[in-house]
Amino acid sequence: MLHTNTIVDMSSTGALPLQITNLQIAKKGNLLLNEVSLKIESNDVTIVLGPNGAGKSLLLRAAHGLEAPNKGTIKWNAHQPEPQHAWRSYIFQKPVLLRRSVRANLEYVLSLHDVNKSDYDSLISAALEQTGLSKIADRNARVLSGGEQQRLNIARAWVLQPKVMLLDEPTAELDPSGTAVIERLIETIAQQGTKIIMTTHDLGQAHRLANDIIFLHQGCLIEHTTAEKFFEHAETKLARNFIAGELLTEDLST
Partner 1 sequence: MNDFSHAFSKALQLIIQLDPALLEIIGLSLRVSITAVLIASIIGLPLGAALALYKFYGRGIIVALLNAFMGLPPVVVGLVVYLILSRSGPLGVLGLLFTPTAMIIAQVCLITPIVAALTRQTILDANDEYHEQLRALGAKASRMMKTLLWETRFSLMTGVFAGFGRAIAEVGAVLIVGGNINHATRVMTTAIALETRKGDIELALALGIILITISLIVTSLVMSARHAAYQYHS
Site for partner 1 in 2-61 (CB under 8 A): none
**Is there binding between residue 163 and partner 1 (CB under 8 A)?**
no
Minimum gap (Å) between residue 248 Cβ and partner 1: 29
Of the candidate residues 33, 36, 48, 92, the single one contacting partner 1 (CB under 8 A): 92
For CA atoms 104, 106, 108, 110, the dihedral sign is negative
Interacting residue with partner 1 among 1, 22, 75, 83 (CB under 8 A): 83
Strand partners, 32: none
Nearer to partner 1, 83 or 204 (CB): 83
Cα separations in angstroms, 79 against 6, 87, 151, 164, 166: 13, 12, 30, 14, 19
**What is the closest distance, in whole angstroms, from the C-beta atom of residue 115 to partner 1 in the complex?**
12
The footprint of partner 1 on residues 171-190 (CB under 8 A) is none
CB-based contact 88:162 (threshold 8 Å): yes
Task: Decide: is 142 part of the binding site for partner 1 (CB under 8 A).
Answer: yes
Q: How far is the CB of 96 from partner 1 (least distance, A)?
A: 4
Residue with smaller CB distance to partner 1, 64 or 103 = 64
Q: What is the smallest separation between the CB atom of 251 and partner 1, expressed in angstroms?
A: 33
d(CA 118, CA 215): 44
Alpha carbons 68 and 27: distance in angstroms, whole number: 11
Residue 61 Cβ, how far from partner 1 at the closest point, in Å?
9
- Angle 224-174-242 from CA coordinates, rounded to 5°: 30
Largest CA distance in the chain: 61
Q: SS3 for 185?
A: helix
Q: Please report whether residue 89 would count as binding partner 1 according to CB under 8 A.
A: yes
> Which of 112, 188, 204, 237 is the binder for partner 1 (CB under 8 A)?
112
Residue type, 182: I
Looking at the Cβ atoms of 123 and 222, the one nearer to partner 1 is 123
Binding residue for partner 1 (CB under 8 A) from 25, 48, 57, 90? 90
Q: Count CB atoms within 10 A of the CB of residue 9.
A: 11
How far is Cα 201 from Cα 179, in angstroms, rounded to an integer? 14
Site for partner 1, rule CB under 8 A = 64, 66, 83-86, 89-90, 92, 95-96, 98-99, 108-109, 112-113, 142, 156
